[in-house]
A and B are shown apart, each in its own frame.
Chain A
Amino acid sequence: MQRQEAAVSTGEVLVAMRNLDKYYGGLRALAEVTLEIRKGEILALVGDNGAGKSTLIKTLSGAVEPDGGEILVDGRPVSFKTPKDATDAGIETVHQTLGLVDTLDVPQNVFLGRELTKKVFGLFPQLDQAAMRRRTHELLQRFAISLPTLNEPVHSLSGGQRQTIAISRLLLVEPKLLIMDEPMAALGVDEGSKVLDLVVKLRDEGLTILIISHNLEHVFAIADRIAVMKNGRLVAVVPSAATTREAVVGMITMGASGVRTEDRQWLS
């Protein structure tokens, strides 16, 4: 597997997190995390279970409010009180829990919160179900997925089908930053590589992507830089071309003490 260099990364900072803190009762889920996401890069976030990865991206997507620190988008401080604040700022997220409503059908899930409408009698806004169904069909065709029915509730679909539906929600708008929390976890080989292709293609089109994955093979295949977290702290951020899988595994399991001498420069 070969990785491609970022075609468009300019090194300019899109999103900056400064000293982010988050407590759940006595548990410190985030401890002074400072991390910059550069325009046009794929930044992978890795770490053990419970390291704080999902918590970190939730502060970026407006799902949780940090207890301390600040977030800057394009150099301007932002404060996301609701998920809508984040999407309004151009940040789209697929959460680890996918965020699907089991009782709704596929187009309803894909368009949830941004339904297409048309006016009946030029007065009453009504759902444009035909248009949403058509768009859903187009979107899903970008994935190697088979989905015999669109208008059944999604609870009966497989994990991979559900994941694909959640990811396709991202393609409805043109965000600045895409966040994906383990988007390939439930996908088969074919479907997983389709999603990887898509992520790279979106990056090449100029999007910035933050992706969480436990699969280091995937991470090294697509990421420009790799950020490692442990126990709520950011350990290091390394360019993936400058390191090895063993080195990253060392950082994930041992934290700062597991960093090789040649990677010391990347320590946070």
Chain B
Amino acid sequence: MAVVSEAQAPKSIGASDRRFRLEGLGLTLVLVVLILFFTWVNPRFGTLANLANVLTQTSTYVIVAMGMTFVIAKAGIDLSVGSMLALSTCVFFGLIEAGWPWPIALPLMFLLAMALGAFNGLIIAFLAIPALIATLGTMVAFRGIALLHSAGKLYYGLPPAIVWLGQGKVLGVPVPIIVAALFVAFSWWLFNKTTFGVHVRAVGGNREAARLAGINVARVEVLVYTLMGFAVALGGLLWIARIDGTQATLGTAMEIHVIAATIIGGTSLFGGRGTIYGTLLGAILLSMLNNALVIAGVEFFWQLVAIGCIVIAAVTINNIRENRIGWISRIRHRRAPAK
């Protein structure tokens, strides 16, 4: 054929791929530097006991933030996590108080939280409600149901087997840290190594392309929010086991911590990209800051101010990295002319 071009020199394909990529290196360094700095300011911070304490306290946030990483990578958001946590733990406690054995009540709590998550996913997928508004609605509604259910009651007194999950140790390591670590490992595998993980990022990155490639977009959507519900139940379980109690206001303002951890970690708010390791670091970083502020005797309200500022700073840094801010990227390109 005339259009056939003559034999060409083979062109390079995939030749300059890096074998190993060091993702999250920057954030890891920040974390190490912060630990050293806080310890220098206050030697009490750097003790093994305090660090283990920080990790134990952050285990719930780490677990819920894993779910949030999937949600945000799918270009969604979930504001209702704190309310879901309150509602499912209150119902769980209610069942225990009513004399239900925990091996039955516990799976029911997980099922309830997953059903609440699936509900979020269903109204987002099938009623085309933006995730921000849908979960803003359920945030308020779930909290309302939790308040109705518990009628202002403070629950306490869990079976010892459950309390062990929050307060026990295995070979000197607190159980919540072990559970969180296992869940992080599972999330990493699910996110990076499975078809589901790729589909979540595909739907988040380009919904129409995902649909045209034959992916059942609504199914992915519902599954992601159901997974979020599971993470809330697991994180909630560790929390109520640690403090051996719950109430309908538990987990208020949790969503901002969890979303902050995810964004600080480097997951794009615009969807399509995410990093499990980054989220883990983000959650630990936030808790450490909190802990350092507490040790330094800073008032709780200042901690809220600090977190708010950190969220805005983290999104700004991500935007600069992704060249989303016109005037800054122009300055950057002027500084670094094309080679």
Contact = CB atoms under 8 A, between A and B. Distances in A.
Interface residues of B, number: 39
B49 interface: no
A258 B46 CA distance: 84
B305 interface: no
Contacts of B18: 151
Given A83-B214, A137-B13, A149-B16, A100 B2 contact: no
Contacts of A31: none
A153 to B, nearest CB: 8
B211 A83 contact: yes
Interface residues of A, number: 52
Interface stretch (B24-32, B105-113, B199-207, B278-286): B199-207
Interface of A: 1-2, 4, 61, 63, 82-84, 87, 93, 95, 97-104, 106, 108, 112-115, 117, 125-127, 129, 133, 136-137, 140-141, 144-151, 153, 190, 193-194, 196-197, 200, 221-222
Given A83-B213, A102-B272, A103-B204, 7 more contacts: A63-B212, A99-B206, A99-B213, A126-B193, A129-B193, A197-B4, A222-B3
Contacts of A93: 212
Contacts of A147: 11-14
Contact of B4 (A97, A112, A193): A193
A108 B14 contact: no
B127 interface: no
B5 interface: yes
Contacts of A197: 1, 3-5
Given A112-B198, A133-B14, A137-B13, A99 B4 contact: no
B15 interface: yes
A2 B13 CA distance: 31
A149 B18 CA distance: 8
B47 interface: no
Contacts of A61: 212
B310 interface: no
B193 A148 contact: no
A93 B43 CA distance: 64
B164 to A, nearest CB: 28
B8 A144 contact: yes
Output the residue of A103, A125, A141, A222 with the most chain B CB within 10 A.
A103
B31 to A, nearest CB: 25
B14 A196 contact: no
A97 B12 contact: no
A239 B208 CA distance: 35
B206 A200 contact: no
A61 B208 CA distance: 14
A101 B1 contact: no
Given A82-B214, A115-B198, A100 B11 contact: no
B299 interface: no
B215 interface: yes
A100 B18 CA distance: 22
Nearest to A136: B14
Nearest to B21: A151
B210 interface: yes
B213 A113 contact: yes
